[in-house]
Structures are given as C-alpha cells and as structure tokens.
Structure 1
Amino acid sequence: MADWGPVIIATVLFVLLTPGLLFQLPAKGRVVEFGNMQTSPASIFVHSIIFFGLLIIFLIAIGVHIYTG
C-alpha cells in the first residue's frame, strides 16, 4: 500500500504558499499584500520557512496518512 499523505500535503501547501499567489509576506510596500502576483527574495525565504514548518507539523506531529490500494 502506498502512503500518499506526504505527497498530497506537500503539493497543497506548495500551491497555497507560493509567494504572491494568495498573499506575500513581507511585501514590497507593506507587511502583507494579497494577490499581487509578485515576489522578492525575502518573501521566498519567509514562505519557505512557513512551508517547512507546516509540513513538519502535518507529517510528523499530526501524522497524516492516506493509503491507496
């Protein structure tokens, strides 16, 4: 049986936490901007830290598993 939990969780978080898609933290002129479709090196760093933090919480602390087969 294949465990698809990590693949699905990582894909969803990657799409939702892409800088500039839903929000950008930190933004160029403000702290947070929503839907501006732009990015900066600082926001890439912040979003990657948030991504890995949430990924660790979902996969290790909560233990999300989705089995197929």
Structure 2
Amino acid sequence: MHDWAAPIIAAALFAFLSPGMVFQMPGKNRPFEFMSMKTNVASIFVHTVIYGLLLILLLVVLNIHLYV
C-alpha cells in the first residue's frame, strides 16, 4: 500500500499558502490582505515558514496517513 497523505497535504497547503492567492501576510498596504494577487519578499518568507511548520505538524507530529 502507498501512503498518499504527504503529497495530498503538501499540495493542498502549497495551493492555499501561495502568497497573494487566498491571503497575503504581510500585505503591501495592510498587515493582512485577501485576494491581492501580488507578493513581496517578506510575504514569501512568512508563507514559507508557515508552510513548513504546518507540514511538519501534520506529517511528523500528528503522523497522518491516508491509504488509498
């Protein structure tokens, strides 16, 4: 059996946490912007850190598995 949790969770988090796609933190004009479709270096760094922490939390700490 193959464990599909890692690629599914990673792809979903990547899509959701792309800066400017759903939200951007920090934004260009405000600390938190929705659907801005713009990005900057600070928001890329913040989203990368959040992505990594959530991925570690879900895959390593909570040990989520999905067998299909």
The TM tier, using the shorter chain, reads over 0.9
One-letter code of the match for 1:10?
Answer: A
Extract unaligned runs of 5+ from structure 1: none
CA RMSD of aligned residues (A): 0.6
Is the strand fraction higher in 1 or 2?
A: 1
Question: Which of structure 1's runs of 4+ aligned residues deviate more than 2 A?
Answer: none
- Deviation by residue 1:17-59 (Cα, 9 ceiling, x = unmatched): 0000110000111101000100101100000000000000000
Measure, in 2, the Cα distance between the counterparts of 1:36 and 1:27: 8
The TM-score normalised by the length of structure 1 is 0.95
In the alignment, which residue of structure 2 is the partner of 1:52? 52
Identical residues among aligned pairs (%): 49
3-state SS in 1 of match to 2:19: coil
Counting matched residue pairs gives 68
